[in-house]
Amino acid sequence: MPAIGVLALQGDVREHLHALEDVGAIAKPVRRLAEIEAVDGLVIPGGESTTLWRLAAAFELLDPVAKLIADGLPVFGSCAGLIMLADRLEDGVEGQRTFGGIDMTARRNAFGRQADSFERDVTLQLSDEADGEPFHAVFIRAPWVERAGGEVSVLGVDNGRIIAVRTGVLLATALHPELTQDLRIQSRVFRFNGEGDVMSGHSKWATTKHKKAVVDAKRGKLFAKLVKNVEVAARTGGADPAGNPTLFDAIQKAKKSSVPNDNIDRAVRRGSGKEAGGAQYENITYEGYGPGGVAVLVECLTDNRNRAASDVRVAFTRNGGSMADPGSVSYLFNRKGLVIVNKTKELTEDDVLMAVLDAGAEEVNDLGDTFEVISEPTDMVAVRTALQEAGIDYESADPVFLPSMEIDLDEDQARKVFKLIDALEDSDDVQDVYANYNVSDEIMEKLG
């Protein structure tokens, strides 16, 4: 059974919830972005459009919901909801914004103010077939559509004024269908059937939601790993980033990956003993071989050695690889310091080289969108500091393993190696994976 959210930023939305339940939906009020992302469709109810705009801005919903709509979220807007779905407004207040999505110009309060609210029967065509009996429509301070774009379907007109439109999985009406016993709009807007489908064309949103869930899961794992690094750095070197360069770099990397400041602060407190709940982590490195004879190093930071070993072993064996004895692979890698610098129009490779030349840098390489600065691990802080003193912002600074030789992979081998690396990185205990492969640009394009 599909879940339909009703945007509950102002007023009473119980009529909308009851109407949706009556046509077979799981109806729920939604206010936060995470709640909206979790539903299969959205209703934007009537009310005062300027208040709705300001509340949406206060809840930081304007741009995110606009993106969800662009990504295919099915939406029905009534009255003020029609205004919020319009790409353009007439008679809007200064600075007023909408979610947009429908190529139309909406006029606020077009039918008059509260005293001019009214009821009458109208004809709407929500499908290719005639809808039979007229709809009993309730208009309250209603807008109308002043102009509709060529790709917008006009579903209803009252006295020459457009009162209902549709484009793709977006439908908007000037009337309030939730205030009558006529449920044809609710039932057809989201096209409920025995399989619980929502709207023709809803599959794009379902696909988008799935992809976003995957991205969010990966981001959650990344956040957890970055926070773990911060906690361990604070435990080993103290809670002051000024005197603990490892902690400084861990915090910078977490911030650049958008880890919330509260998460970072709590990790520092746990690591320094100022807050309970910190775990005892240990570093473990596993070695192995992947498809095509690729050498693989796996760095883990774990509070459960048995779990980490099991995760790594399973990832290798299920993806065409095998574990190796300590030392059988690591000799193919060198420990180095790696600082990544984002490119700008003004920044050249020579600028980076001049900044780090006397700080111990061994190489500066142009990677296309970024520059990489390679040094001995002991010189990495000096390199990072030299960049900062030269006014050059850096993306990350980490000790890494770089291969001393690389194996060229064909398309099939590359696909299998990437699958192995993804499986290893999926473990919460795995912090970094290094492998000595080389894949051509042409193969990378094919693999996406």
Q: Which of 178, 231, 287, 300 is catalytic?
A: 178
**What pLDDT is stored for residue 201 in this prediction?**
43
**What pLDDT is stored for residue 193 in this prediction?**
39
202-253 pLDDT, tens digit per residue, is 455 655 555 555 555 566 677 888 899 999 999 989 999 989 999 998 998 8
d(CA 145, CA 171): 12
CA distances from 69 to 73, 84, 104, 168 (A): 5, 11, 15, 11
Strand partners, 156: 124, 164
390-414 pLDDT, tens digit per residue, is 999 898 899 999 999 999 999 999 9
Is 278 a member of any domain? no
**13 or 129, greater pLDDT:** 13
Say how many domains are in the chain: 3
**What pLDDT is stored for residue 205 in this prediction?**
60
pLDDT for residue 87 is more than 80: yes
How many CA within 13 A on the CB side of residue 208?
18
Buried b / exposed e along 33-58 (16+ C-beta atoms within 10 A)? eebbbebbbbbbbbbbbeebbbbbee
Q: What CATH number is attached to the domain comprising 230?
A: 1.10.10.200
155 shares a domain with 16? yes
Mean pLDDT, the chain, whole residue set: 87
406 shares a domain with 441? yes
d(CA 265, CA 262): 5
For residue 313, give the nearest of 329, 289, 332 by alpha carbon: 289
**What pLDDT is stored for residue 133 in this prediction?**
77
Averaged pLDDT for residues 70-83: 92
CA 384-387-392 angle, to 5 degrees, is 130
pTM listed for this prediction: 0.53
Q: Which of 16, 79, 287, 300 is catalytic?
A: 79
308 shares a domain with 196? no
266 shares a domain with 300? no
**What pLDDT is stored for residue 448 in this prediction?**
67
192 shares a domain with 216? no
192 shares a domain with 231? no
Is 277 a member of any domain? no
Q: What CATH number is attached to the domain comprising 396?
A: 3.30.70.980
For residue 107, give the nearest of 95, 87, 90, 94 by alpha carbon: 90
46 shares a domain with 156? yes
Is 47 a member of any domain? yes
SS3 64: helix
268 shares a domain with 301? no
Which tokens belong to 243?
A: 């005197």
Q: What CATH number is attached to the domain comprising 61?
A: 3.40.50.880
Strands 322-324, 282-289: pairing kind: antiparallel
d(CA 164, CA 182): 16
SS3 385: helix
373 shares a domain with 323? yes
| 79 tagged catalytic | yes
pLDDT band of 198, cuts 50, 70, 90: very low
160-182 pLDDT, tens digit per residue, is 899 999 998 899 999 999 888 78
Q: Which of 16, 37, 176, 202 is catalytic?
A: 176
| 176 tagged catalytic | yes
51-72 pLDDT, tens digit per residue, is 999 999 999 999 999 999 988 8
pLDDT for residue 447 is more than 70: yes
Buried b / exposed e along 271-286 (16+ C-beta atoms within 10 A)? bbeeeeebeebeebeb
SS3 378: helix
414 shares a domain with 267? no
**279 or 7, greater pLDDT:** 7
**What pLDDT is stored for residue 116 in this prediction?**
65
d(CA 336, CA 124): 69
Q: What percent of the chain has pLDDT over 70?
A: 90
Is 407 a member of any domain? yes
* Range(s) of the domain holding residue 113: 3-201
CA distances from 250 to 258, 355, 400, 439 (A): 13, 22, 14, 30
**What pLDDT is stored for residue 92 in this prediction?**
83
**146 or 257, greater pLDDT:** 146
Q: What is the phi/psi pair of residue 275, to 5°?
A: -140, 140
Q: Domain ends where: 272, 292, 313?
A: 272
CA distances from 118 to 44, 49, 122, 139 (A): 21, 19, 12, 5
